[in-house]
Amino acid sequence: MKNDLLLRALARQPTDSTPVWLMRQAGRYLPEYNATRAKAGSFLKLAKTPALAAEVALQPLTRFPLDAAILFSDILTVPDAMGLGLYFAEGEGPRFERPLRDEAAIARLAAPDPTVELRYVLDAVRETRSALGDRVPLIGFSGSPYTLACYMIEGSGSSDWRAVKEMLYARPDLLHRILAVNALAVTDYLNAQIEAGAQVVMLFDTWGGNLTAVQYEEFSLSYMRQVLSQVRKVPRIVFTKGGGGWLENIAASGCDAVGLDWTVDPSAARQRVGAKVALQGNLDPAVLCAPPSRVREEVRRVLDAFGTAPGHIFNLGHGITPHARVDAVEALIDEVRTYSRQLRAARV
């Protein structure tokens, strides 16, 4: 591997600079991505065409000196493969034609065979890894069992997840049934991505933060722990948006790194979890709408808070937004590289 900064940081080994990659680094803020998406005709066609998915996965690495590539796909490909009918309404985000509200439908739910129903994703992994060669590691990913369940039950995104919460309180047995199937599906999916060439995998628990502390353990973390115990031994990152109160439990789940959102104080996070896991994060994505000079200030603030101890991967506290400035992203990556080296040199 020509650039193994990410792998060494995930193993909590010293690095000469802090590795950096960005959640949603291939996305609508890049004009070349928008051109490829227009060529594909729709987001789903783009994601389901392996050659185009590989093309957009590599676009940010062509433009920026990033330390990792991430598979271009969507977390909702798994429930789509279960037959729920994923589609994207213009200006409204993802929706399912057949959300899980009926007990009989939940009883019929089954984990898909990723080598069949999700073969296009695995082909995208292979094409991306082949195009990368040994340049940087390739990250595969899945939504967490609970986050997938949120969309599967609600049928779309939501501000309050009312249908999910109603099921959680009134029929927790049905929610547990969905989560059990999802945990099996996510495990099979991640293992298939690893077999196809992914060298790191990440669980996106985007909506785990809408649970109480007790509910988080029962409905989210316990199922992620189950997945982690059965996924092949590559480095594994867990990110729960809004999960800052549960860092110790997440760190003990079997993962190699914990993702932090922008609400978490990095120095406090390191004190809480010690050296057991690497930490990833946690710049506020909104800063990328600001001028580059302001971005550099915020990058330095984050790096100062994390310090120079091994085991930090610089990232955003959530995904990059379509409104991010390209010059701001460029400034972010350059400042991570230069300032983290300065910090290490000063320590020596």
Residues involved in catalysis: 24, 28, 37, 74, 151
Which tokens in the block code for residue 300?
């330095």
Angle formed by the axes of helices 172-196 and 145-154, to 10°? 120
190, 140 Cβ separation under 8 angstroms: yes
Q: Give the type of residue at 21.
A: W
Which tokens in the block code for residue 326?
């390209």
Cβ partners under 8 Å of residue 150, min gap 6 = 158, 161, 164, 207, 210
Instruction: Return the exposure string of 288-321: e unless at least 16 CB atoms fall within 10 Å of the residue's CB, then b.
Output: bebebeebbebbbebbebbebeebbbbbbbbbbe
**Bridge partners of 143?**
204
Cα–Cα distance list, 20 to 215, 234, 236 (Å)? 33, 19, 16
